[in-house]
Structure 1
Amino acid sequence: MKVVVLRPVPTVPEVDTRDAPVVGRIGGRGRMGSWQQANKVANVAAARAHGALEVDLSAPRVDVEAAVGRADLDLFWRPMPRLFGLYVSEPDAAVGILVNSGLPRGARRHTVAHELGHHLLRHSTTVDDGSTIDIGGAVDPLPENGAPRRWTDQEMGAEAFAAWFLMPRRVVAAALRLLSRDRPESALDVYRLSVILGTSYATTLRHLPNLKLASPRDTNAWLKVPPGRLKARLDRGVEPPADRRRDVLVVGAPLSGVPVHAETGDRLVIPGVTPSQVHAPEWLAVAGTTAGAYFADGVVLDVVDLAEPHTGLLTVEAGAGWTLAVEAGPQPVGRQPRTRSDR
């Protein structure tokens, strides 16, 4: 594998991880042995990290960027065509995380959690390409030429930590309630769940058996359904977007009071309404009305090209009426603003 060296590495404060909220290295004498062991230890490590980093588990999405700040780490975003992320931890040097800003949102958030796992599990410097982070087809797999994925003990530990940190039982249950579900019943349910959680479709699917929310048989069948096909069921009748990697989020009254996160190019589908009943900020443009979509025909809004983050209210005057707070912006770049605890 060709190693890409990025210079200079951003300067971040040195961090003492001796009292970090972790359980130490995974497995006896640093050996993990199996994914079952990795998930067992990562579940405990993620739960401890949630408490120590003051993660709100009542919300339907984990704020992983804020957790990184509370861990006294700096997070940087940068386009890196051949890499997903880096965790830098060298003797007498700064400690920090660098993530490919060009990844889809769910893959970016998973990569951030993966690199945070390296830090909290006291791992050494790691360069993560597609062979060490499993986002299941969100981007072209790396390395090329069909080379097998290399799951070392260290990578297995960080990967399991990422899943448990972003998808603990309480958070997944909160997201399922917004879908009026106790558990996913179809591939489409899993896709919609992943959008609310801010995780990739494939990583969400693979974690559901760990949560006892789906059988391996169902998840293996649903993994064969491309996310693009599911998105097309939600916005059928409207011109397809230029990039199907973008999310399609079905919104309605159940999401009132829950911040909706979107990015340039994402789509919001509002079933059962007409354009005249929808009042939205100018950066949410009407793309058309659905016809024959999975839900009742309705209005489709596209997030236009934004140069900076925006927050606005989406109001629907249908039935009892409802309002959503929508936060949207471009893909991140540069240094993530710090969010520290008061400890």
Structure 2
Amino acid sequence: MRGTRELATQAAREAARVRARLGIGPTSSLCPLDIAEALGIVVRLAALPSLEGMYAPGDRNTVLLGAERPWGRIRHTCGHELGHHVFQHGTCVDELCVGRRPKWKPEEYLADRFSTALTMPKLAVGDALRRRGWKPAELTAEQAFALAQNFGVGYRSFVSHAERSLRVLSPGAADSLRRQGRPLGRVRRAVAGFEVEHDVFIGDQHWGARPMDIETGDIVVVANDALFAGTCARLSREPEAHLVAVGPGEGQLKLRARREPIRVRVGRRGFTGLARYRHLEEPQNE
């Protein structure tokens, strides 16, 4: 049986090949759901409480994702199922494990490492830190949260990946960030500057290449000079400058400090169905 180091190397190599095949640079952020669509894989979200994800090969290769998970987890699971596709593992069903660790299997480890290598390659994390002028050893919980949102992953997933895979965080620094991140609602409140009911994002000049995928009710912290084109979010200046997502659709966040606008995609909260339709605007009643 191959060791974990060899499997991790193989996963990183294949993730880099997928990026190169689709013309995505090694420092760019991405959404695994978009990658699946680009590879011709059907992605569907379903309200199945016990399901993390499923990959089913066939005439139309399909990925099924549990819609009741947090979005960071959903994206990771999509990348995991893509790993099963890339490595031709056949039909795979990944169930939610509560209160127990799943049995270690090389194909599951390989798919998991593929997902993290696809979404958070070392060059991309290093570039995100450099552009912000942040040092890994000095990261605050708010900064780690901003980086996790930039890559579309969970807070704890980012911290664990930075510590155990990329080795840019010491165990002590990682443990400190985990403690500071409990509860995560406190971090969100600190980032936004006010109470938020759902999730919060930072729409600044450092946001990566991927679209900013949010859900109705989410908040995007922006600069005072920000402009927004679209009807899916509303710009507010009080108590701090921010966007609030008000309905499904797409728009553009324009910042004076950034050359290109940020593409903002708002999805319905709790959406189920074909993933490509999650940002589709609702028809207007005539």
TM-score (norm 1): 0.68
* Paired letter, 1:270: V
Given candidates 99, 112, 127, the residue that maps to 2:93 is 127
Counterpart Cα distance in 2 of 1:41 and 1:266: 37
User: After the TM superposition, which residues 109-258 of structure 1 pair with which residues of structure 2 at under 5 Å, given as runs?
Assistant: 109-131=75-97, 142=98, 146-183=99-136, 185-209=139-163, 210-224=165-179, 225-226=181-182, 227-236=184-193, 238-241=194-197, 243=198, 246=199, 248-255=200-207
3-state SS of the aligned residue for 1:288? coil
Q: Could you tell me how far 1:322 is from its partner in structure 2? A: 8.3
Partner of 1:99: 65
Q: Could you tell me how far 1:114 is from its partner in structure 2? A: 0.3
Among all aligned residue pairs of Structure 1 and Structure 2, give the percentage whose two residues are the same amino acid. Answer: 22
Tell me, yes or no, if the aligned pair for 1:256 and 1:324 is still in contact at 8 Å: no
Given candidates 39, 43, 56, the residue that maps to 1:75 is 43
Tell me, yes or no, if the aligned pair for 2:252 and 2:264 is still in contact at 8 Å: yes
Q: Could you tell me how far 1:54 is from its partner in structure 2? A: 3.3
Tell me, yes or no, if the aligned pair for 2:46 and 2:64 is still in contact at 8 Å: yes
Instruction: Give the length in aligned residue pairs.
Output: 269
As a proportion of its length, which structure holds more helix?
Answer: 2
Q: Could you tell me how far 1:314 is from its partner in structure 2? A: 4.2
Partner of 1:15: none
Q: Could you tell me how far 1:164 is from its partner in structure 2? A: 0.6
Structure with higher Rg: it is: 1
Q: Could you tell me how far 1:58 is from its partner in structure 2? A: 4.0
3-state SS of the aligned residue for 2:81? helix
Any stretches of 5+ residues in structure 2 without a counterpart?
Answer: 278-286
